[in-house]
Amino acid sequence: MPTISIFKRPGRAISAALALSLLLAGCDNPFTRGKSESSNSQIAQGDYERGPHRGRMLRSGNFAAEITIFEEGVEPEFHVYVYQDNKPLDPKTVALNIRLTRLGGYIDEFSFKPKDDFLRGDGVVHEPHSFDVAVKASHKGSQHSWTYDSYEGRTTIAAEAAEAAGIKAEASGPAVIETIVDLPGRVMLPPQGRAEIKPWYAGRIVEMTKSIGQPVRQGELLARVEASDSLRSYQITAPISGVIAERNANVGEVATQPIYVIVDTSRLLATLHAFPRDAKRIAVGQEVQIRGIGDQKATARVSRIRPSADPTTQTVTIEADIDNGNGVWRPGLAVEAGIVVASRKVPLAVRTPALQRFRDFTVVFAKVGDTYEVRMLKLGERSNEWTEVLEGLRDGEVYVSDNSYLIRADIEKSGASHDH
């Protein structure tokens, strides 16, 4: 059983340490309890007799059945060899049935037909090879039956230990898988977001009302200038609302160049750079997920695609308008953006971070109560968030979605193998 240790020291709480003892044994050590109901013989946990074909030998008096799973060049299937007084029997003289009960109560049943010198099961023994096994055999009127368990890729973790370790689970089901093109870029001011304030006529500045960094409203007075030719003064007002970014003159000077620059950062522009192979998949209106160097995030839409490529970088510029009413974005910031170029709803998916490698398979770990068990998957489309499942998991089956690597590490500590 798993061991749970929770240590507390004065002044602070120490997170629970997860010391998990595995309840699994792979196919090399799967039969932790074996009993012949007709003979009442007991086999110690983890210790069983192997037959001539390296399978598990089940005995009942002078009758014996050797259970193997054959998987060389074919999908896994049961091959059972039968014996009388330790000598091979003609498989045609034996009727056999195997019933597998999997985690969650799912049942697989196999009937057998003679083939060459063995009995062959009538179906595929699907991964994982982890189940409670019931075998029934009949030979010349004598009935024999055995039960044992055969676990691999399985462990048990108490709920409080799983919670302390941050292990979370959720039910599998449908999801929308998005195909995203990732692009680098930068936040820029749109052309309409910058205004240079120039005097209408050359003359001496008699009043300036704003300094750098001060806000300004459209139509607000910025300066008064006395025209050189008429000596009459005129007012200069703000053409847009925004902030004073530059002040290039002072009272008493002759105004011959822009005296202010106003910038409006309430709406900015993300300029993104796509190579032609990606640009051809991008269209105006597609969703853009923009991420800053810090924790800035924004969702926008592709607003424009420039018709020509940059001759130096050979990239096409993609533009997206950013609503910056909260002021978190600044012109000049580098960004990364993901453009959703396609999306498809799939009937069954799991969260991509939940996927782990186990032996030669990509897997998730199913959860039933406090028991966790590997599920070997056949996968379809994948995104950063979701991965489509084609085979290996039932719709609605609960699996570990967060910190699944802890389950894998705990199972691997057992050294369980896959040997039939």
User: pLDDT class for 419, splitting at 50, 70, 90?
Assistant: low
pLDDT at 197 over 60: yes
Cα dist from 415 to 21, 152, 154, 398, 410, whole Å: 12, 10, 12, 25, 10
C-alpha to C-alpha distance for 157 and 404, rounded to whole angstroms = 13
- Can you give the pLDDT at residue 95? 98
0.85 exceeded by pTM: no
User: pLDDT class for 420, splitting at 50, 70, 90?
Assistant: low
- We find that the CATH architecture of domain 181-189+267-344 is Beta Barrel (2.40)
Look up residue 270 and give its amino acid.
A
- Can you give the pLDDT at residue 418? 57
Report the CATH fold assignment for 192-263.
Answer: OB fold (Dihydrolipoamide Acetyltransferase, E2P) (2.40.50)
CATH number of this structure's domain 157-177+345-412, picked from the four choices 3.20.20.70, 3.40.50.1220, 2.40.420.20, 1.10.8.60: 2.40.420.20
- 273-290 as b/e, with b when 16 or more CB fall inside 10 Å? bbeeebbeebeeebbbbb
C-alpha to C-alpha distance for 331 and 245, rounded to whole angstroms = 12
pLDDT in tens, 278-290: 999 999 999 999 9
- Can you give the pLDDT at residue 255? 87
Find the mean pLDDT for residues 343-361: 95
Find the mean pLDDT for residues 242-269: 94
Segments of the chain assigned to CATH 2.40.420.20 = 157-177+345-412
What values do phi and psi take at 186, rounded to 5?
A: -150, 150
**31-150 classified as CATH 2.60.40.3340:** yes
What tokens appear for 415 in the block?
């050294």
C-alpha to C-alpha distance for 194 and 239, rounded to whole angstroms = 10
- Can you give the pLDDT at residue 46? 53
Give the residue, 237 or 2, on which the prediction is more confident.
237
Lowest average pLDDT, out of 40-49, 196-205, 367-376, goes to 40-49
Look up residue 254 and give its amino acid.
V
- Can you give the pLDDT at residue 35? 33
Burial class (CB in 10 A: 0-12, 13-18, 19+), 355: middle
pLDDT in tens, 101-118: 999 999 999 999 999 999
| 128: Cα within 13 Å, side-chain hemisphere | 33
C-alpha to C-alpha distance for 26 and 45, rounded to whole angstroms = 13
- Can you give the pLDDT at residue 192? 93
- What mean pLDDT, rounded, does the chain reach? 88
Find the mean pLDDT for residues 366-379: 97
Whether 270 and 243 have beta carbons less than 8 Å apart is answered as: no
- Can you give the pLDDT at residue 16? 32
Q: CA nearest 372: which of 395, 389, 397, 392?
A: 397
Give the E-state strand segments of 89-158 in sequence order. 94-101, 107-115, 118-121, 131-139, 142-150, 154-156
Look up residue 114 and give its amino acid.
P
C-alpha to C-alpha distance for 241 and 37, rounded to whole angstroms = 89
- Can you give the pLDDT at residue 256? 81
- Give the distance from CA 172 to its chain's centroid: 12
**Kind of pairing, strands 378-382 and 386-391?**
antiparallel
Segments of the chain assigned to CATH 2.40.30.170 = 181-189+267-344
- Can you give the pLDDT at residue 13? 28
